[in-house]
Structure 1
Amino acid sequence: MAAGQKLYPRATVKKIVKAHSKRNVSKNVDVLIFLDYALFLQTLMKEATINAKQVGERGISGKSVKKVTEMSLAKFKG
């Protein structure tokens, strides 16, 4: 973490999630949200890499990421 950056308050994250879901949330819901987000990004980049190689690109481009975003989001829909 860079100097000067603050962590997002855990209580605030829990309040936001509780307000949107209208359900009780567990004690470590913020950690679970972060881990799910990290797993989503990992999947997105892996799929974008595969797509870029199939198209013949040398690296990952924004176009490759856009093509696989919907598919990756569908995998993580709750």
Structure 2
Amino acid sequence: MPGQKLYPRATVKKIVKAHSNCNVSKNADVMMFLDYMLFLQNLIKEATIEAKQGGERGITARSVRKVTADSLAKFRG
């Protein structure tokens, strides 16, 4: 639907501010959301490769667990 928000911006800003005790700039929440979406895209891609190499018919929790650590390492700052 046009105009529908993907996530509550104010809620994200409040959570980040509560955990870091810092103010969040105007569009920092957008950058965090986009980085999160890139992480999920990478995780699914790697899990798909792992599942195919393991002879599985689809992505399973096991294939996701195997690639999670590597995907997290790629997205650490």
Q: If the length of structure 2 is used for normalisation, what is the TM-score? A: 0.78
Unaligned runs of 5+ in 1: none
Give secondary structure in 2 for the equivalent of 1:60: coil
Using the aligned pairs only, state the percent identity. 77
1:2-31 residue CA offsets vs partner (Å, 9 max, x unmatched):
xxxx87542332232133234342201111
1:61 corresponding residue in structure 2? 60
Unaligned runs of 5+ in 2: none
SS in 2 for 1:40: helix
Letter in 1 for 2:14: K
Identify if the C-alpha distance between structure 1 residues 53 and 8 changes in structure 2 by more than 3 Å, giving closer, same or farther.
Answer: closer
Partner amino acid, structure 2, of 1:11? A
Runs of 4+ off more than 3 Å: 6-9
State the partner residue of 2:45. Answer: 46
